[in-house]
Amino acid sequence: MQKLLARLERRFGRSAPTGLIRWIVGLSGALHLIVFARPDLAPWLWLEPEAVLHGEVWRAVTFLFAPVGPVSMTGLFWTALYLWFLNTMGTSLEAQWGALRFDLYFLLGAVGTLAAGFLVGPVTGQWVATALLLAFAVEFPDFEVLIIVLPVKVKWLGLLSGGWMVWQFIGGGLQTRAAIGVALLDFLLFCGSDLLFMARGAARVRTAATRRDAAAEGFAPMPRRTRVCARCGRSDKDDRTLEFRVCDCAEKCHGKLTEYCIEHARNH
């Protein structure tokens, strides 16, 4: 999947629309304000496949962003905080991935959720937003969120959200399972290789520590680490002559040490 995304980025990346998250946040905020002022309008914003087929096509979009019940003044306050955090996640992911990959991530999740709604019955769009949190936790695990007065790293929020999704998938109804399944599949398609890379990295750290101890006692030396380009996905396993560079620029890498092949080190 990473190689496919890299090819799409090279071909279409420059023409991909930017700032999608601003539309997501703006539409969600507007719909919450509408429901706060007119609670009776909320059911008109939810997904009803039969109603969509009979001309109420706006439901195919508004169900992704509309609240699932009445909105109180306190609810508006928490919604404002949530939308601020959603904007932070979206802008950070777009900067890290590029506009094309971020747009595809959200749109595939949204279209997949809509399709699930037509297949199994009405669903909500809440799990699409949860998938954004999971991706953000993978890319920026040490980002800290202040919960009341306690700073919490977003990787722990990601683990809690992922666990909650699995719990709801096991105990929920068919519609809930379908919506969660789409969100998790979208997440794994785009972030599965990163999770595998992180897991292998953690395993290599443990193995390296073991081998260092063994080497200190006169055993075999540590093996050479595989290097992978963050842009195109090529590794020195594919080509032993491939050269790599490490970058931590603020513009593209956000200070995070990132490896690129020599081709993309100059233009990433």
Do 119 and 181 fall into the same domain? Answer: yes
pTM exceeds 0.85, yes or no = no
Alpha carbon distances (Å) from 254 to 106, 143, 248, 258: 22, 12, 7, 10
Q: Is residue 152 part of a domain?
A: yes
Domain assignment of residue 243, yes or no: yes
Is residue 145 in a domain?
yes
Examine residue 74 and state whether it is found in any structural domain, yes or no.
yes
pLDDT tens per residue, range 151-165: 889 999 999 999 999
64 and 187 both lie in a single domain: yes
pLDDT tens, residue by residue, 126-138: 999 999 999 999 9
**Average pLDDT, 10 consecutive residues per value, the chain (268 residues):** 72 83 96 94 94 94 91 91 94 91 94 95 92 94 84 92 94 94 94 77 58 55 64 74 73 72 73
Domain count, the chain: 2
Domain that holds residue 142: 2-194
Task: Give the residue carrying structure tokens 């003044």.
Answer: 73
Q: How much is the pLDDT for 208? A: 58
